[in-house]
Amino acid sequence: MSNVMAPGLSMLTVNSPVMVRVAHQHDREFACRIEDLDHDTVIVTAPPGARSAVLASGTRDVELSWLSPRGRYEQPCRLEPSGSQGGPAKYWRLRPLRRAILVQRRRYIRVRANIAVNLEVGGETVPAATVDVSEGGFRVRMARRDIPDLQHTVVRTALGGAQVALPGYVVRTTNVDQDQTEAVIAFQADGNDAEAVRRFVLHMQLRARASRT
């Protein structure tokens, strides 16, 4: 196979972290990595636990997603037969069905804020504090640790007296100072959680303006 990138996936390379979501199961996503690309096929590592979800769904349609500096992309794909014998395949062969779509643009206003949060990541609860906040994500700092890009996480905190739980993804991490890690987390809040984040951001904007007058 060649390393020529598939149409619509030009920002990805071999070993890029991605997520796979089985069609019609929006609450179930599985982390994996790109193994190879060519003109009409994407090869990813078989996501642990995803095979049973595909069988239960009754379809071979999946969505490949990834985060970029512009936001979150989604690529509808069809899971092609692997031809493997005697057990689960190690890799999934995905055929893109149409162009990737940018579903979350980086369009949100960020405000400086120091809020205690808990991150649910990799089966652990990690205490952290925000550096800045927007309606589309938080930048947080925590004790030094390694977190892979695109790791799924849930941010739990209190905003203006409202308890929120914000599912999202770690866009990137950076080691800062001597013993801390800074992480950018993207999410798409909805319902009461979205309203709580929106009110908090507006409150912080108004407070910042008042302090300058």
Q: Where are the domains of the chain?
A: 17-105, 111-212
- As to burial, measured by CB atoms within 10 angstroms (0-12 exposed, 13-18 middle, 19+ buried), residue 10 is exposed
Residue-wise over 124-155: b if at least 16 C-beta within 10 A, else e? eebebebbbbbbbbbbbbbeebebebbbebbb
> Mind listing the pLDDT tens digit for each residue in 37-91?
887 889 998 887 777 777 766 778 888 888 776 667 888 889 987 655 555 678 9
Q: How many CA atoms lie within 13 A of 143 on its CB side?
A: 4
Domain 17-105 matches domain 111-212 at the CATH topology level = no
> Mind listing the pLDDT tens digit for each residue in 90-129?
899 999 988 887 765 556 788 999 999 999 998 899 999 9
Query: Residue 99: which residues within 8 A CB-CB, separation 6 or more?
Result: 7, 8, 75
- Between strands 29-37 and 124-134, the pairing is unpaired
Task: Pick the closest to residue 184 from 143, 144, 153 (CA basis).
Answer: 153
> Mind listing the pLDDT tens digit for each residue in 125-145?
999 999 999 888 899 999 999
- Tell me, what amino acid is at 19? M
CATH architecture of 17-105: Roll (2.30)
Q: With a threshold of 0.85, does the pTM exceed it?
A: no
In the predicted model, is pLDDT for residue 27 greater than 80?
Answer: no
Residue 67 Cα distances to 73, 90, 116, 168, 206, angstroms: 6, 24, 25, 11, 31
Looking at the domain covering 111-212, what would its CATH class be? mainly beta
